[in-house]
Amino acid sequence: MSLHEMCADLYIDLIKRCLANWIYGDKEQTPFDPEKRMDGRDWPETAHTMIGMKRLDNIQYCVMDALSHDIPGDLIETGVWRGGSTILMRAILKAFNVTNRTVWVADSFEGLPPPDPVTYPQDADDRLYTFKQLAVPLEEVKANFEHYGLLDDQVRFLTGWFRDTLPTAPIKQLAVARLDGDMYESTMNGMENLYPKLAVGGYLIVDDYGFCKACQQAVHDYRERNGITDEIKTVDWTGVYWRRSR
């Protein structure tokens, strides 16, 4: 390992620990539970990501593998909360001086949409739109990028409901796509509009697969409809991913 690679690894590890608030812990959580934070089973008051260290490690693995194998395309997360996952993506690009890829930050920045039970009956009983703590304003997310020194022209924001923004997003190709939309509709919007742009050898990550049955159903429905048989691999109790083979 070269000195640059060693320094890059240390930088990325520190970024992850800061994003998850692993270093200081949440003052509002008494006592701070490192096991829950590792697994992303809590709703941290001050951390910049909810997903925990294991899923942060998975993002690092997928992005690093895509870079090392020269898989073409940008990086995106749909459903970013405070921006932590996309901040990590941008940090990895910066650590390895990758200047020809964009990190796309897609969110309504108003929380989740009310369910549309006519079009998506799988979401009929969903109440996540009532959780105001999931609505993080765009300016707060931008400020979080700025705190890490990572708000620049390699970061682009897609503001609005996925059904409105993803079909017309000016994204040519993706190396890594991470879906964190919780609902059937949000997950299906991501699959339908982004998976066709995912390069062979690229990674599709789904955050809510284990936690939200509607999200899981959307993944299965899309895979079955499109003949996708790539092995779904488990990250932790809820996150999964696979590498596109064709």
For residue range 128-184, what is the model confidence (pLDDT) as tens digits? 999 999 999 999 999 999 999 999 999 999 999 999 999 999 999 999 999 999 999
Q: How confident is the model at residue 28 (pLDDT cuts 50, 70, 90)?
A: low
Work out the average pLDDT over 210-223. 97
Tokens 């970024």 belong to: 15
Q: What percent of the chain has pLDDT over 90?
A: 88
The amino acid that residue 98 corresponds to is V
Cβ(193)–Cβ(91) below 8 Å: no
Q: Which pLDDT score is estimated for 29?
A: 56
Average confidence score pLDDT of the chain: 95
Work out the average pLDDT over 57-68. 98
Residues 6+ apart with CB under 8 A from 121: none
Q: Which pLDDT score is estimated for 26?
A: 60
Greatest mean pLDDT among 21-25, 40-44, 173-177: 173-177
Token pair recorded at residue 60: 């690092």
Q: Edge-to-edge strand order for the sheet containing 155-159? A: 155-159, 103-107, 74-78, 174-179, 198-206, 240-243, 233-234
Q: How confident is the model at residue 205 (pLDDT cuts 50, 70, 90)?
A: very high
Q: Determine the Cα–Cα distance for residues 34 and 4; give it in Å rounded to an integer.
A: 30
Work out the average pLDDT over 201-209. 98
Q: How confident is the model at residue 31 (pLDDT cuts 50, 70, 90)?
A: low
Q: Of 89, 116, 90, 93, give the one whose Cα is nearest residue 184.
A: 116
Q: Which pLDDT score is estimated for 94?
A: 98
Q: Which pLDDT score is estimated for 170?
A: 98
Q: How confident is the model at residue 30 (pLDDT cuts 50, 70, 90)?
A: low
Token pair recorded at residue 101: 């890829």
Pick the more confident residue, 220 or 38. Answer: 220
**pLDDT higher than 60, residue 216:** yes
pTM score, whole prediction: 0.96
Q: Which pLDDT score is estimated for 69?
A: 98
Domains of the chain in start order, with CATH, are 61-243 (3.40.50.150)
Work out the average pLDDT over 13-24. 91
- How big is the chain by its Cα radius of gyration, in Å? 17
Q: Which pLDDT score is estimated for 34?
A: 83
